[in-house]
Copies of this chain bind each other. A is one copy, B any other.
Amino acid sequence: MRPFFHPALEDIKPDAILYALSDPERVAIFAKLAGTACGGTCSALADLGDRVIPKSSLSNHFKVLRESGLIRSERQGVEMRNQTRCAELDERFPGLVRAILTAYGQLPEQLKTG
Instruction: State the A residues within 8 Å of B (CB).
Output: 14-19, 21-24, 27, 93-96, 98-100, 102-104
Interface SS majority for chain A: helix
A13 → B minimal CB distance (Å) = 9
Chain B residues within 8 Å of A22, by CB? 15-16, 18-19, 22
Contact call B14/A100, Cβ cutoff below 8 A: yes
Chain B residues within 8 Å of A95, by CB? 95, 98-99, 102
Cβ-closest chain B residue relative to A104: B14
Chain B residues within 8 Å of A24, by CB? 15
Chain B residues within 8 Å of A14, by CB? 100, 103-104
Q: How far is the CA of A94 from the CA of B101 in the complex (A)?
A: 11
